[in-house]
Amino acid sequence: MPFDLIDSSGDIGVRAWGPDAHAAFSALGEGFYSLLTDASRVSPSKGLSLSLSAPTLETLTVKFLNELIHRAEQERFLGAACDARYSFSAGEHRLSAVILGERFSSKKHARRLMPKAATYHELKAGPAPGGWEIRVTLDL
Amino acid sequence: MKEKLRRTDEWRLELPAGSIPGMSVPAVIYADEGIERALDEKVLRQAANTACLPGIRRAALVMPDAHAGYGFPIGGVAAFGLRDGVVSPGGVGYDINCGVRLLATAVPAARLLRDRDAAAAALFAAVPAGVGSESSIRLSKADEKAVAEKGARWAVERGMGEPGDLERCESGGRLDGAGYGALSRRALERGRGQLGTLGSGNHFVEIQEVAEILDPADAAAFGLEKGLAAVMIHSGSRGLGHQVCADSIDEMLAAARRYGIALPDRELACAPCSSPEAERYLAAMRAAANYAWANRQALGWAAGKALAAALKLSPRELGLRLVYDVAHNIAKVEEHSAGGRREKLMVHRKGATRAFPPGHPELPAEYREAGQPVIIPGDMGRSSYVLAGTGAMGETFGSVCHGAGRLMSRGEASRRARGRDIVRELAESGVSVMAAARGTLGEEMPEAYKDAGGVVRVVEGAGLAKIVARLRPLCVVKG
């Protein structure tokens, strides 16, 4: 999935893109997990389903990543692959996602960084040349 | 923005009011010429934006360890009138009451060095850190309510420390006005299993040596003796506090629109101090602050137990004693003089430390003559400092810096560390490091930070605090 990590002083950002919103959100999910661990070592053995809505695209983006942080902390869930579906209707931005992954194991998974929260700092989400792009900064 | 800066003396720069539209007070930046050269344009923009918020008093203050944050700069202080000013979660930060605790020991550093690797391994095992870490403490709902209301006292009542520890914590290790009921279900879920965990990023537990005493009288008052080992802990309110901030941002964005507050940056989202939105945030923020004090109390106790076991010492031989515990991400109501009159203000310190002067009634009796101990951590390879507040009440609302401050972004540090063995390099310079996230340790390498020595020299030069002691790292446990 196309994503890269962007510099943000003491914190870190994820830039994800794709031909459409589904691809960009899917890449954002996978970019997020690359912060936590080496995602190539995570087996897609368990599914996590999410369904979120928000009044703005920016808020939806922040909610999505904060949900992943919450699941990583509470359920120790690490994702290997993310399939997200975005829609907009009746003034609501909606995202449903299925993430395949597994529970963290200190024997198997390298520890990287655990973000505290997604922020609105320089957040961008929406159509961009060539498709869609999302940029989010995470507080470490 | 840099072209608008003017130097007012050896230690201070000023960005005048009006440098951007709506900027009602100046921004004052504490920096010598070296720190000025490293000053990020984004920091100036964020300070200028902060100076646009309603009811700000005197100036937006930028400490010498500042780097760019979200909305407010990290290393920033801003105080607002209670009647005409605002509360902003972005002025506190995601890690509410992130802070530093320093414990002195009776053990000579030379003795510790004999068992340094065992001590580091014991600390690493005793302090859960990083992705996937789990605390041995599992809070019931009743426990979590008590933690939110009692702060450090909750841990002391469960045997994790001495009653005397409480008066050696800023605000007694507890803020009044905490609202357990203001915490969201998610904040409570995140907090339940994380008390006694260190976290990730730049959080650490360090064993240090008191390497140099610069003010013998104050060092004696603080119980610091040259050549003895000390333990420094940097952590905060964990997921509970992060969630309080995340929960509040959307509500504050809506509040700012409702109250007609123009926001130059969304992360400056705020509400009038007297509004219901501000009251809800402050109740939750105080509960999170209390959680952080309980967390550092638990971490200090666990570190002491691990150290005693590794060094085969009795608690008496170890002689662990809390020097002080400071918050550096917090908003508090304090009384200060602004504009020639005394008034209660909402003082936001985001990456800044309270530094009250001698005689201040909030200081414990044993420190009232010396002034408040101020704990300034360095990086993994260079010294940390203990300062004493001297009298910056009229200028910085009794505040100074909080650390060394980043010089490089994580990405740049990571690129520069590529191909190097940071653990080995530090070991060769006498520092033993254990890290939960060894692969990202390069992002925390010493060169990624300013030298804390240079930062505290600016603070002392500006007359905000005086340097009491220098502590050099021996063992570092990172999240």
pLDDT at B132: 84
CA dist., res. B330 & res. B280, Å (int): 15
The owner of tokens 């395949």 is A100
pLDDT digits (tens, 9 = 90+) for B211-221: 999 999 999 99
Any CB–CB contact under 8 A between B123 and chain A?
no
User: Are B95 and A59 a contacting pair at CB < 8 A?
Assistant: no
Give the whole-angstrom CA distance, residue B264 versus residue B379.
33
Nearest residue of chain B to residue A105 (CA atoms): B132
Confidence grade of residue B170 (pLDDT, cut at 50, 70, 90): very high
- The domains of chain A are located at 3-139
Whole-angstrom distance, CA of residue A25 vs CA of residue A83: 8
Judge: B131–A37 Cβ closer than 8 Å, yes or no: yes
For residue A140, the chain B residues in CB contact (below 8 A) are 200-202, 410
Residue B341 is predicted with a pLDDT of 86
Would you say B322 and B103 are in contact if contact means Cβ atoms under 8 Å apart?
A: yes
Partners of A52 in beta bridges: A95
Task: Count the domains in chain B.
Answer: 1
B191 has a chain A CB within 8 A of its CB = no
Position A98 scores a pLDDT of: 98
> Over 80: is that where the pLDDT of A9 sits?
no
Site of tokens 């990590």? A5
In the DSSP assignment, the letter for residue B406 is B
- Residue B306, pLDDT score: 96
Whether B131 contacts B437, CB under 8 Å: yes
Of the candidates B132, B246, B412, the beta carbon closest to that of A111 is on B132
What pLDDT does B130 receive? 87
CB distance B249 to A120 below 8 Å: yes
HEC readout, B104-124: EEEEEHHHHHHCHHHHHHHHH
What letter represents residue B380's amino acid?
M
Look at residue B82 in the predicted model and tell me its pLDDT.
97
Rounded to the nearest angstrom, the minimum Cα separation between A32 and chain B is: 13
Can you tell me whether residue B457 is helix, strand or coil? helix
Q: Is A76 on the interface with B (CB under 8 A)?
A: yes
**B97 close contact with A: CB closer than 8 A:** no
Query: Has domain A3-139 been given CATH number 3.55.10.10?
Result: yes
Residue B25's domain spans which residues? 2-478
What is this structure's pTM? 0.96
The mean predicted confidence, pLDDT, of chain A is 95
Residue B284 has a pLDDT of: 98
Report how far apart, in Å, the C-alpha atoms of B187 and of each of A114, B148, B180, B239 are: 16, 11, 10, 7
- Summarize the confidence of residues B195-222 as an average pLDDT: 96
Does the annotation mark B328 as catalytic? no
Amino acid, res. A56: T
Amino acid (1-letter code) at residue A113: L
**What pLDDT is recorded for position B337?**
87
Q: What's the pLDDT score for residue A11? A: 86
Q: From the CA of A58, how many Å to the nearest CA of chain B? A: 11
The string of pLDDT tens digits covering residues A33-92 is 999 999 999 999 999 999 999 999 999 999 999 999 999 999 999 999 999 999 999 999
Which of A53, A114, A135 to mutate to probe the B interface, most B CBs <10 Å?
A114
Q: Is B250 on the interface with A (CB under 8 A)?
A: yes
A-chain residues within 8 Å CB-CB of B351? none
Taking only the tens place, the pLDDT of each residue in B121-138 is: 999 999 999 888 889 999
CATH number for the domain that contains residue B55: 3.90.1860.10
Alpha carbons within 13 angstroms on the beta-carbon side of residue A80 total: 14
- B389 touches B215 (CB < 8 A): no
Closest by Cα among B285, B331, B279, B276 to B148 = B285
Question: Length of chain B in residues, anyone?
Answer: 479
CA B290 to chain centre: 14
| CB < 8 Å to B193, chain A | 74
